[in-house]
């Protein structure tokens, strides 16, 4: 069977880069996979795990002759990286990314793309709270959405190739504008993460509840926030700095709604609480029915012993 791409370059070999490598190996999608990451340690690990066939100290060497180049680095690094590699990109190559924010990435990268290179931004809606080259696995994208935000005038054949690539990695494709993507993700991902970071921060600041009580009774709800709040700090700092407008808009709505709940609790308005909690339960059912979550007890969470061995970089 012929490969989808003769040579794929992965810039960034953390959770997403390594999962893409595994998914490409599984589907035999690439003839050769080259890679680059900032640290020698990650580059060495990527070679040892067989994620890539070759690693390079500089990103320019890694992308030379590649038909597909995927930026799998924190959003704040993309511009500098593309400035460095622009002269090394092959004519006709597809350059894509996996960043969780699209508007800022398009604004930063579009002016740097050389003539003849097809730049097609993408965002796989799949992840875990783990980072680094050992955190990846081939199934990460299975049954998950990958959103593509092609720019005006994008080459249809290149778009089709990238769609096929993500489908072969297990994803379903949705196309939207970068602005719409950022609004949707602000409410479905970015604001929920901010709330988790905030609630875990508040709990750790509480003086009248000890740290051991927070840990001991965490299964009451707090534990699920701690999982989200364990996500990579650099990645999430960059998301909030780069999706400022949409996050602030959604936070404004959130604040208004939480004030209404505060009022309902103060005034003993049980009907308002019951109506909301019934409606939100339906939303969870819808997510399970859509195959985006499990209804197994304890959310299908693996026992702690499995998590310990799941390859986590701290």
Q: Give residues in contact with ligand NAP (CB under 6 A).
A: 12-17, 37-39, 42, 72-75, 77, 81, 98-100, 123-124, 127, 131-132, 232, 235
Centroid of chain to Cα 265: 36
Shortest approach of ligand NAP to residue 256 CB, angstroms?
A: 28
Shortest approach of ligand NAP to residue 291 CB, angstroms?
A: 18
Would you state the structure tokens that stand for residue 306, as one six-digit string? 């499995």
Distance, CA of 102 to CA of 201 (rounded, Å): 28
Residue pair 111/82 in contact by the 8 Å Cβ criterion: no
Shortest approach of ligand NAP to residue 160 CB, angstroms?
A: 22
Distance, CA of 245 to CA of 220 (rounded, Å): 33
Shortest approach of ligand NAP to residue 179 CB, angstroms?
A: 17
Torsion on CA atoms 232, 233, 235, 238, rounded to nearest 10: 170
Nearer to ligand NAP, 217 or 299 (CB): 299
Shortest approach of ligand NAP to residue 252 CB, angstroms?
A: 24
Distance, CA of 6 to CA of 29 (rounded, Å): 8
Nearer to ligand NAP, 15 or 186 (CB): 15
For CA atoms 131, 136, 140, 145, give the dihedral sign. positive
Nearer to ligand NAP, 121 or 150 (CB): 121
Would you state the structure tokens that stand for residue 208, as one six-digit string? 């009248």
Nearer to ligand NAP, 167 or 272 (CB): 167
Nearer to ligand NAP, 14 or 150 (CB): 14
Distance, CA of 268 to CA of 147 (rounded, Å): 43
In which residue are the tokens 């051991």 written?
212
């Amino acid at each position: 069977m012929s490969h989808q791409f003769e040579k794929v370059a992965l810039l960034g070999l953390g959770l997403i880069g390594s999962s893409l490598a595994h998914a490409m190996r599984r589907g035999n999608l690439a003839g050769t996979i080259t890679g680059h990451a900032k640290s020698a340690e990650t580059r060495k690990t990527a070679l040892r795990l067989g994620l890539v066939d070759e690693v390079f100290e500089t990103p320019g060497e890694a992308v030379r002759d590649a038909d597909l180049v995927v930026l799998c680095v924190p959003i704040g690094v993309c511009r500098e990286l593309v400035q460095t590699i622009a002269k090394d990109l092959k004519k006709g190559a597809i350059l894509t990314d996996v960043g969780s924010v699209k508007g800022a990435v398009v604004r930063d990268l579009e002016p740097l793309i050389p003539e003849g290179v097809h730049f097609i931004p993408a965002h796989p809606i799949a992840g875990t709270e783990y980072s680094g080259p050992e955190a990846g696995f081939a199934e990460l994208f299975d049954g998950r959405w990958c959103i593509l935000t092609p720019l005006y005038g994008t080459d249809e054949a290149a778009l089709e190739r990238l769609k096929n690539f993500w489908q072969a990695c297990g994803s379903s494709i949705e196309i939207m504008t970068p602005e719409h993507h950022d609004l949707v993700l602000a409410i479905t991902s970015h604001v929920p993460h901010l709330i988790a970071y905030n609630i875990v921060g508040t709990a750790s600041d509480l003086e009248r509840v000890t740290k051991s009580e927070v840990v001991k009774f965490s299964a009451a709800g707090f534990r699920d926030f701690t999982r989200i709040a364990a996500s990579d700090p650099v990645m999430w700092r960059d998301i909030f700095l780069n999706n400022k407008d949409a996050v602030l808009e959604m936070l404004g709505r959130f604040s208004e709604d939480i004030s209404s709940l505060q009022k309902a609790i103060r005034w003993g308005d049980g009907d308002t609480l019951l109506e909301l909690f019934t409606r939100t339960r339906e939303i969870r059912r819808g997510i399970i029915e859509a195959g985006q979550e499990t209804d197994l007890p304890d959310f299908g969470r693996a026992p702690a012993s499995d998590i310990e061995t799941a390859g986590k970089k701290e």
